[in-house]
Structure formats: C-alpha cells, structure tokens
Amino acid sequence: MTRSGFVALAGRPNAGKSTFVNRVVGEHVAIVSDKPQTTRRALRGIATTADHQLVLVDLPGVQRPRDPLTERMQKRVEHELKESDAALFLINGEQSVGPGDRFIARAIRSAGVPAVTVVNKIDKLRKPQAAEALQAAADLGVEGEVFPISARTGEGVADLVTHLAALLPEGEFLYPAEDRSDQSERVRLAELVREQVLLRTREELPHAVEVEVEDIAEREDDGLLMIQALVWAETDSQKGILVGKGGSMVRAIGTAARGQIEALEGRKVHLDLHVRVRKGWRRDDGLLDRLGIE
C-alpha cells in the first residue's frame, strides 16, 4: 500500500522553506533568495518514490501583515496548515528563537495536525550552537520530533523525509508520478524572472516588484519559445533602478532569467522584459486574484 498526502511548511521568512522543498523535490520548483518574503504564492512541490508521494506545501514566511498582499499570504498559511496531513515547522538555526516562532508554534498547535519541528542551516553551526538551537526548538512545545538539517547541503534530509512519509495516510498518489509542482507554466516562468530581480535589489524594492508573464508562444519557423513579461514597480524611481543605466539592469535580469528558463524548458528562449509602473498593485484585490495570490 502506498502513502500520500500534504505536509505544510511553516516558518519565519528566510528559514529555508523553499530551499528545503527544492532539495526534496530534486528540482528548482520554488524561488529562493536572502530577502524576506520571497515566496508569495503557496505552491506544492511533489516528491514521488515507489511507496510514497510527499506533497510539500511551500508557504510564505509568517510575518505580521502590513497590506492586502501580506494579509492574503498569512490567511493562506493558516488555511493550509489546517488542511494538511502534517505540519513541518522550520526554524532558522542561525537566529535565536523569537516571538515569531512562538506565534507559529501556537498556530501549528491549534491546527491540530501531526507536526515535526526542524532546525535548519546546521551547516552554519558548531556542535554546541546546534545543541542549543535544538533545545530552544523543543522548548517551543510543538508535539512531535525535532530534526537538525541543512536544506543547503542535504544533511539530515533523508531521515526527515522517511519520518514525514510515515505520517502520511495510506492511499493512492494524488498527482501523476512525473509531476514536480502544481504551478502553471506562466507563474513558474514569472517567478524565475522575479528571483533574478530579488538577487539584484535591496531594501523596499524586492517587496515592490511583481512579474507577470503576458504571453508564451512558439515561433513557427524555428520553434523558439517567445516569452513576453512585465516587471512592475510601484514608483518611477523604482522603475529607474530596475531599468538601470542605459537599460543595463533589466538586461542583466533578462539574461540571467533566460538562462534559468532555457535550463527548465530544455530549449532556446527569447525573453522580452518591460519595466512598468503600477502604483498600489499590492492593494488591488482584483489584480491579486488575477495573479494567483490568494
């Protein structure tokens, strides 16, 4: 009999949730950056073996909401925790446990699903620090075991996956065995562009940028994949930074994103990026719906 089900990932921004999903799925399905709130849309990363299908629900980092965008993100976290078969609480071992972690611990307890607590980034910790972080994690009082891992190096991940798989209910696979994520192609490509923006920007800009893929089409004569995408900023000065001197910034973003997209698609791609100002997009409910941030 096979096992299959959903494990929701909760943790503060930057804890390494998306890195963990990519590690377990074995593919770059979720974008990663050192900026908080990299993940905006819940996405499912799917890892299938002969005897189980583990569906990891990658979620936005839990943070106090400050606008309709972040309110939606937090509601989604609470909803997904309740709907899942188990919760995985990821803690950044490099930081001390704080009020944010205690808030998440309460949310997991009230969701009433089996839980596992994970201290991530142990590749950065010496033995005594790791022992301290594990104790602090255990003291948060979430039921279930505590695992030390490094999502970056893979240390401890195999044992954790075995443990998570055992928590899943018996049943048929929920997705075709070859699927790696539930994202649409349009969203996945837009996210790869946004990832390159995040890598090159600082301060408020990472939060102000959204990317929308407008069109994906195959050119008839040579099969080249033609992608049209918009990079939104909220102000003219942000737009100026994103365009860069003589267009240098948007060119660098485009070249790097094209490389990522070509690797994913396994073929040549033409990526057309335009930077636009779209004031207040984070407060526009209709737009957030259309962007799949719900």
Ligand X SMILES: Nc1nc2c(ncn2[C@@H]2O[C@H](COP(=O)(O)OP(=O)(O)OP(=O)(O)O)[C@@H](O)[C@H]2O)c(=O)[nH]1
Note the residues at the interface with ligand X (CB under 6 A): 11, 13-19, 32-34, 36-39, 60-61, 120-121, 123-124, 150-152
Site for Mg ion in 26-55 (CB under 5 A): 38-39
Residue 33 binds: one of Mg ion, ligand X, none (C-beta under 5 to 8 A by kind): ligand X
Nearer to ligand X, 131 or 217 (CB): 131
Q: How far is the CB of 206 from Mg ion (least distance, A)?
A: 12
Q: How far is the CB of 269 from ligand X (least distance, A)?
A: 24
Q: How far is the CB of 122 from ligand X (least distance, A)?
A: 7
Total of chain residues touching Mg ion, rule CB under 5 A = 4
Stretch that binds Mg ion, among 18-26, 167-175, 241-249, 255-263 (CB under 5 A): 18-26
Residue 37 binds: one of Mg ion, ligand X, none (C-beta under 5 to 8 A by kind): ligand X
Nearer to ligand X, 52 or 194 (CB): 194
Nearer to ligand X, 13 or 144 (CB): 13
Stretch that binds Mg ion, among 14-22, 67-75, 136-144, 150-158 (CB under 5 A): 14-22
Q: Does 18 bind Mg ion (CB under 5 A)?
A: yes
Between CA 249 and CA 246 the distance in angstroms is 8
Q: How far is the CB of 210 from ligand X (least distance, A)?
A: 15
User: Could you list the residues that contact Mg ion (CB under 5 A)?
Assistant: 17-18, 38-39
